[in-house]
Amino acid sequence: MKRFAIWVLATLALVVAILSGLFVFSPTARLVMVIVIAAIFNSGPPPIAKGVITKEDWPHFAAASKKLTGVLQSQFPVGSTEGALKAILAGQGFRPADPVPSNCVPPGQQVPIGEVYHQCLTPEQEERRKRTLVYKWGGGVCMESISVMWSSDEHGDLTHVEGGYYGACL
* Residue ranges in the chain whose pLDDT is less than 70: 8, 12, 15-17, 19, 22-42
The predicted structure's pLDDT at residue 43: 73
Q: Tell me, what amino acid is at 4?
A: F
Residue 38 and residue 136: Cα distance in Å, rounded? 9
Residue 142 and residue 153: Cα distance in Å, rounded? 37
Q: Cα separations (Å) of 45 from 103, 126, 132, 156?
A: 33, 26, 17, 27
The predicted structure's pLDDT at residue 88: 97
The predicted structure's pLDDT at residue 23: 63
The predicted structure's pLDDT at residue 40: 55
The predicted structure's pLDDT at residue 86: 97
pLDDT tens readout for residues 90-101 = 999 999 999 988
Residue 134 and residue 95: Cα distance in Å, rounded? 5
The predicted structure's pLDDT at residue 170: 85
Q: Break the chain into its structural domains and give their ranges.
A: 1-41, 44-169
Query: How many Cβ atoms sit within 10 Å of the Cβ of residue 49?
Result: 24
The predicted structure's pLDDT at residue 10: 73
